[in-house]
Amino acid sequence: MVTYGSRGDVEPMTGLAVRLRALGAEVRVCAPPDFAELLNDVDVPLSPVGWPIRALATGAIPGKAKAGLSDIAAELTAMAYEAVAGVAEGCAAVVATGSFPALAGTRTAAEKLGVPYVFTSFSPCYLPSPHHPPLRRPGQVIPPEVTGNRGLWDLHAEHMEALFGDTINTHRASIGLPPVSGVRDHVFTGHPFLAADPVLGPWQETPELDVTQTGAWIRPDERPLPAGLEAFLAAGAKPVYVGFGSMPMRGANAQEVSRAVIEAVRTQNRRVLLGSGWADLALIDDRDDCFVVGEVNQQALFRRVAAVVHHGGAGTTTTAARAGAPQVIVPQVADQPYWAGRVTELGIGAGHDGPTPTAESLPAVLEIALAPETGARAAVVAETVRTDGAEQAAKLLLDMIGRSGSALSAG
C-alpha cells in the first residue's frame, strides 16, 4: 500500500491495512516518514517514502519552500519508484493513492515488477466523469470554446500531460520501460477504487470509467480522550470544535486566525475547542471557555461537540458526518470545496466563502450549522454513513487476487 500525502491520505490506508491483516493478508505501507508512530500503533510495517510531508508542506525543507508539485515531480516520482520497487517484489497487489508524481512512480514500479496495481481516490471529484467538472486550478482560465464537462476533462488531461508527461516518460526510459501517452488515465487506470461514502460522495455511473465504490476506509479508533479534555467537555455545554488538520493555512497568521475563530464562536455564546494542527491554533486569553488539543480521537470527540469547523478533508468530513455533528467547512485546496458543497447540499452544515475565516465571516455560517434543523438533519444523515468500506475493499482485493489479479491490472 502506497501513499504520499498528509494524515488524510494515510489514515484511510491504515484502515484498509488493518482489515486486510484481520483477513490474513501481509501488509506493508509506503508513506511519508511522519507516520511511523501511527503505523507502529497498528503493527503495520512502514517503508518511508519521500520527504517528511509536514516539512514539505510548511516550506521547512531547504530548496523546496516555494516549489510546486510540478517542480518536484521528477524527484518524487523517482523516490516513490525506489521505495516501492525495494519492497513490492513478490507482492500480490499494490494499492496506491496520494500525490500524482508519487502515484506515477508507484505504477511504474508495479509494472516493472509485474505486480497488479490498484489506484484509489478518496473523492469522486478527482475521477473523470461527464456528470461533474474537474477541480478548477488556481488562476486557471478556461478557453471560451471549451464547454461541458467532457471538454473540461479533456483539458484537464492535456494539463496533466503538460505538467507530468515528460517527467514520467523520462523516468520510465531510465529503467527500460517504454513511454506512455495519456499519463493521467495511465495512472488512474480504467478500474479505480473510490473509497468515499455513497451518501456523502456519490459516484454516478459512466461508461468511460469502471469505478468500484467501497465506502470510506475507516480505522476504528478506541483511544480514550485525554483527561484534561474530558474535564473541559464535562464543565459546560457542548463546545464548537475548530481545527484545520494538516492545513498550514498559508498566507494567514496563526494568531490572527486563532483570534478570529475564537471570537466568532463566542458570538454564538458557545465554548471553543481548538485543534492546534498544522495551522498552530492557540489560545488568545486565559478565559475558561476555550481549550486546545493536539492529535486526538476525533471519532469519539465529534460525538460530543455542537459543531465541527474544519478544512474539508474527506476523512474529517466523513468522521463529523458519522458522528452526527453539524459542519462548517473552510476549504483550502484540492477536493475541499467539493466536500463543502456536499455538506451544504445535504443540509448538514455550510461552506465558508474563501480559505481564511474571520470574526466577521464565520458567524453567519456558524449560525447555519448551529440551527436546530441542521442538527436534526445531521443526525439523520449520520445513520446512513457506512462504516464497512475498508472491510468491503479488503474482501474485494483478496477476491481479485484469488482470481489471478487480472482484474486489478487491467488498463
SS3 label, residue 144: coil
* Same structural domain, 263 and 136: no
Asked if the structure places residue 374 within a domain, the reply is yes
* Same structural domain, 96 and 213: yes
Read off the pLDDT of residues 49-70 as tens digits, 9 standing for 90 and up.
999 999 888 888 887 766 566 6
User: With pLDDT > 70 as the criterion, what percentage of the chain qualifies?
Assistant: 96
* Same structural domain, 197 and 279: no
Rounded Cα distance between 187 and 203, Å, is 19
Its domain, for residue 377, covers: 227-382
Decide which of 290 and 333 is more confident. 290
Rounded Cα distance between 369 and 350, Å, is 6
Asked if the structure places residue 22 within a domain, the reply is yes
Read off the pLDDT of residues 144-191 as tens digits, 9 standing for 90 and up.
888 899 999 999 999 999 999 999 999 999 999 999 999 999 999 999
Please list, in sequence order, all residues whose beta carbon lies within 8 angstroms of the beta carbon of residue 101, skipping any fewer than 6 positions away: 69, 72, 73, 74, 76, 77, 80, 164, 167, 168
* Same structural domain, 359 and 392: no
* Same structural domain, 209 and 79: yes
327: Cα within 13 Å, side-chain hemisphere: 37
Q: Which residue has the cell 505504477?
A: 107
Name the domain count of the chain. 2
137 pLDDT tier (thresholds 50, 70, 90): confident
* Same structural domain, 401 and 332: no
Average pLDDT across the chain, whole number: 93
Supply the CATH number for residue 32's domain. 3.40.50.2000
Give pLDDT, residue 67: 59
* Same structural domain, 185 and 293: no
Asked if the structure places residue 120 within a domain, the reply is yes
* Same structural domain, 143 and 252: no
Read off the pLDDT of residues 179-227 as tens digits, 9 standing for 90 and up.
999 999 999 999 999 999 999 999 999 998 999 999 999 999 999 999 9
* Same structural domain, 71 and 212: yes
Asked if the structure places residue 411 within a domain, the reply is no
* Same structural domain, 320 and 171: no
Alpha-carbon torsion (95, 100, 101, 104), positive or negative? positive
Distances, alpha carbon 32 to alpha carbons 29, 50, 164, 314, 316, in Å: 10, 6, 21, 19, 20
Asked if the structure places residue 158 within a domain, the reply is yes
* Same structural domain, 113 and 209: yes
Q: Retrieve residue 229's grid coordinates.
A: 479534555
Give pLDDT, residue 62: 80
Give pLDDT, residue 66: 61
* Same structural domain, 192 and 336: no
Predicted structure pTM score: 0.93
